[in-house]
Structure formats: C-alpha cells, structure tokens
A and B are shown apart, each in its own frame.
Chain A
C-alpha cells in the first residue's frame, strides 16, 4: 500500500499534484520565514562606512560582546525566561494533573475552558488588567492596606517579580495543554502498580510520572521559553522603562535608533542563543527533539 503510494507519487503527474498541494505552505515558508531571515542575515553582516556605502563586517556582533549592557540584558532575559518557564511548569503540573487524572466528564471540559478564557482577550488588555491590579493606587495595594499588612500603598509594578507573574500568566495555557495530553496517556494502573509494589507519592512522581510525561514537559517548556524570551509587551508594560528585556533592545535599534544592522544582529543573536539554550536543555534531560515535537 505504502509502496504503491510512493510509486504513484514518483510519476510525473502525481509529483505535480504534490507540488501544487504543498505550494501554499512553501510560499508561506519561503516568503515569510526564509527570505526575511536571509535579508536580516545580510543586514546584520554589513557595516556602513559612508552614506549609502556598506561593506561586510562583524562589527554588529562585536558591539554585542564589547558593550556589557547588551549581553547583560541578554543574560538577564534568558535567566528570567528560564525562571518563568520553571514557575509555569510548577504551577501548570498540578493543574494538568487534576484535569487529566482527577476531573471527570463536564468538570474536565470546564477546567480546560477556564485555562483558555484569558486568551479570549488580547494580550494588551490582559497586561493592562495586571497593571490595574498592581499599580500603587490599584486593587491589590489597597487591599494590603485594608488588611493591615502594609501601612501605606506599595508600588507592585516595575519589579522583576511583576514581570515574572505576567509572563507565567501569559504562558500557562501553553504548558497545560501538552502536559494534559502527556498525563492523559499515562495508564492509571502503572501508578497503582507502583504504589502496590511499595512506592510512595514522591518516588512514583519521580520514577513513573515524570519519565512518562517528559516529552510533554519538554514540549511545554520549549514553547513557554520561546514565547517568554520573545515576549515584548508584558516585560515592557509590567517592568516599565527599566525592564531591560532583550526584545526591547532589538525594538530600540530598529525603531528608535534606526540602526537596522544592529537590530538584525541582535535578532540573530536571540535566535542562536535561544536555540542553544533549548538544545542544552534537551541534552541535559536526555530528550530527543523529534519525540518532543510529536507531543505538541
């Protein structure tokens, strides 16, 4: 069957049909992903020596290394993103466990929809919602005063922790979905068998549940990490002017400074470094990229 299909596709007419079928995807890939990246790569590798005169150079990349602000911003962004991913995992895992293993029937659907509801409003509105809650004259500081916890309203915005809260909130769904599907495929009798053979909650989690859910955990973590690292709105609004998020640097180069060459170089550095971090994460946990992507 498969062999016949393959030989059919090898025939010239079928090959044309296949090409036509794939055309939209190819146009999309080449036009919107490959071409802009080639353009950016070329941009990032040239330096302006005189008006309208450019030559090949690695100056833009050298700036990143030489200027501590830039690479420190990058390290900071990566660190907070990793912490945000870990926090998201820690919060999403029990929720996913409840949805996958404990909730039944209608409750399961309702809980899933509850995870989805925040995504019905735009990210801007959601983030502004956080600002209304957390600003000095906002809901939470007033509540803290009313409860006698703080003597005067405190400014809860513009802290790293605030950025973290916003990022975790934005990412939760993208962790819950792969985790639920990974945990749902775990046979309950495996957990019972482990318990029956003398395992306790912690050892079963470590030896049975996590190894089974590992591809789902990795898939969710990659998605959340990438989304967080590339997030612009949440760090800017919740962290204020000094949030020092790497995407802000890229934005500043492109829009404020009109230095497209530097912006392109930063864009590529973000791509390379995030890829390197994901690769390192997969290596450290012994996962294979193919297995992980099949889970998403």
Chain B
C-alpha cells in the first residue's frame, strides 16, 4: 500500500483555483463538441468530469493538457493563461487511458523520464525516482521491466511518473477503464489514498458514475458538450438539477408524462397509460407541461400488505415482474396492477421479503417528497 508521509510537495495555498476553464469552445465542423464551458477546480481537490462516451469530456481534458487548442475561451492553470503554451511546457501531467508506460524503458527510466528531460544531475534524478517509487509503494522497482508489473503496479508507475514532476494539476483519462472489476474497486481506493497523500489537484474523467461518486470532492456531469450540473457527489445524487443528471447518476426510475394539478411544491404526473404519481417539482412547472419524474429504487417502500407501508405515502399495488438478486444491491421489478408500468424497487437489506416470488401481489409506495419532477428536456445551466 501507499506509504503515508506528512510533508506535502506543494505548499498549501488555500482557496486558490488550480485550474480555471473560461468559456472554452471546441468545434468539429458545425458541431460544438465542447460548448462554452467554464469550470474552476480548487487547489488540492479531486475533481471528476462524468459523462457518457462522446459527451466531449476527453476533448476538454486534451484542451487542458494542451494537445488541442480551443476555438474560443481560455484555460488558466495556477492563474496563468495557457494560450499558446505547448503540452511539454504546461505545469500539467496526464495519466493516459492505457497508461502509456514506455515499454522500451525500465520502471526507473519511466519515472525519471520527465526529470531527465528537464536536465539535472544523474544522481539527483536517481534519488528522486527512488523516493517517488517508495512513496507509491514500489520501493526498489527501478530495474524492473514494465511488462513484469501487474495492472495495479503499472497504474502506480504511471502516476509516479507524473507526480515526480510536481505538477500543479494531474489529469487522469479513465485510467481504470481497462481493468477488471475486482482490480478496479481496489485501484479506486488506492487512487483516493494517493491523492490525499500527495495533495495534488486531480482532474479525473470517467463514464463510470460509481468511480466519480466514490473518488471525488466535486463532480461535473457533462452531456453533449455542456455541464448539466457541478456539485458534490451528495448534491448530484440527492438534489439533481436536470433530468439527465437524475437519470445518469445512480439508479433511478423514470416516469414520463404530463403535469396535472400542482400546488407549487408538488405536482401530479400522469403518464400516457394513466398512472398518476405526485412528485416534488424542480423549477417552474405549469399544468400540461411534458415532465419527467424520478424516484430512486431505495426511496420506494415495498410490502406484502398495504398497511405495512408508512402513513402518508402514495400507495400502489402490483405484481412482482422479476427478481434481481445482487447481494446488498438486490432489487425487484414490480408491474403496477392497472397500467403495467414497471418500477424498480430496492429490497430491504434486512432480508425481509427475501422470499418474494415472481407474480406475487405486492403493495408499494413512496412519499411525494422523495420523488423529483422536471420539465422534460430541461438542461440546467
């Protein structure tokens, strides 16, 4: 594991923005892949950009690294504009998707590559490489060949190779994407430890919402070249501001329909099949608007007998469609009796209802407060 040290290589500068992206646009043909994006990343934080593939997050990262020039806007790193500064002169380093370790060099040469390019005494470089390898938990690995390393060790070398240069910013381009599930879970924890240990600002891009939620201090959810919402993982999960965020971050039931009666705080959503649910309104919703309501699987209560449901919740009856057993993430898909609408409900982790059978009649319900309703196609700011 990672050795803990007390001294941080970068002096603490509280509240400083290490990275500022100012209305950056990148077009390919008529299409804006990155569309007037702005963002600020505070010093020492772990910032993730989360989005589906093709949303423009890799383009944004490559603009920050300097491999692409923005058509409009500016990137400032540590307060300094990066306009016209090539990648090899930016105080930024990048961990590539497939790590891009140099196979023709040893581990020590990989880690020392950047230092050697800057010039400096051979002995000094060797000492710093040695110290860095110790810090990432690979002491004495200098002479090993890259292909002798395990996936996790390779990732640590890729990060060590960047951090030994003490960059203001470390960019990570889905480095966990190529790993198998077990190792990915392990590397997630290791990355978080490394970031906390070094205190370097990390900007991490991923399409995996669990990586973004687990690792980050703040997450930007990106879609079609724009940020839908920027916030802490908790904000994104509990207070999504757009239907896209609600649907993309975490599991969610989507109920599309039209807004019927509303009382300002909650609205009634009526689907085409006639299912009516009440949900908390996000933004101004007028009667007759096309809307999307979201309710999390764990916010829905499930019972065999309707009287077991908490009082005040809206109640429905249905039949079990399928059982999705997955340990602590187990859920059932329930079909509503009258409209056949399918809804995913998390199974209580206590093991109560573990004996449910397919086609068994059940009752379910949820509070209007725990469902959220958006105007369809709302994209936030």
Contact = CB atoms under 8 A, between A and B. Distances in A.
A187 B100 contact: yes
A197 B165 contact: yes
B87 A196 contact: yes
Contacts of A196: 65-67, 87-88, 92-94
A255 B47 CA distance: 80
B102 A190 contact: yes
Given A208-B104, A212-B104, A197 B97 contact: no
A200 to B, nearest CB: 6
A187 B88 contact: no
Interface string B50-86: 0000000000000001110000000000000000001
A194 B97 CA distance: 14
Contacts of B93: 196-197
Contact of A189 (B88, B100, B161): B100
Interface in B87-107: 87-89, 92-94, 96-98, 100, 102-105
Contacts of B165: 197-198
Nearest to B173: A189
Nearest to A199: B117
Interface in A189-207: 189-190, 192-200, 203, 207
A190 B114 CA distance: 13
Contacts of B66: 196
A64 to B, nearest CB: 42
A211 interface: yes
A70 to B, nearest CB: 43
A107 to B, nearest CB: 19
Contact of A192 (B92, B100, B105, B114): B100
B162 to A, nearest CB: 7
A198 B98 contact: no
Contact of B88 (A190, A199, A208, A211): A199
A203 B100 contact: no
Contacts of B103: 212
Interface in B102-123: 102-105, 113-114, 117-118
Helix, strand, loop or mixed for chain A's interface? helix
Contacts of A207: 102, 104-105, 113
Contacts of A189: 96-98, 100
B99 to A, nearest CB: 8
Contacts, number: 60
Given A189-B96, A189-B97, A203-B117, A195 B102 contact: no
B119 to A, nearest CB: 10
Contact of A193 (B86, B89, B100): B100
B113 A199 contact: yes
A218 to B, nearest CB: 14
Contacts of B161: 197
A200 B86 CA distance: 10
A194 B89 CA distance: 12
Contacts of B113: 194, 197-199, 207
Contacts of A198: 88-89, 113-114, 117-118, 165
Nearest to B161: A197
Interface string A166-195: 000000000000000000000101101111
A198 B162 CA distance: 10
Q: Which residue of B67, B98, B100 has the most chain A CB atoms within 10 A of its CB atom?
A: B100
A193 B104 contact: no
A190 to B, nearest CB: 5
Given A200-B88, A208-B102, A211-B104, A193 B117 contact: no
Nearest to B115: A198
Contacts of B117: 197-200, 203
B90 to A, nearest CB: 8
Interface in A72-105: none
A201 B125 CA distance: 22
B88 A193 contact: no
Contact of B87 (A190, A195, A212): A195
Contacts of B86: 195
Contacts of B114: 197-198
B205 to A, nearest CB: 15
A192 B90 CA distance: 13
Nearest to B105: A207
A198 B86 CA distance: 10
Contact of B98 (A187, A194, A212): A187
B204 to A, nearest CB: 16
Contacts of A200: 88, 117
Contacts of B98: 187, 189
Contacts of A193: 94, 96, 100, 102
B100 A195 contact: no
Shortest beta-carbon contacts, A-B, top 6: A197-B114, A198-B117, A193-B100, A211-B104, A189-B100, A189-B96
24 contacts: A189-B96, A192-B67, A192-B87, A192-B96, A192-B100, A193-B96, A193-B100, A194-B102, A194-B113, A195-B86, A195-B87, A196-B92, A196-B94, A197-B93, A197-B117, A197-B161, A197-B162, A198-B113, A198-B114, A198-B117, A200-B88, A200-B117, A207-B102, A212-B104
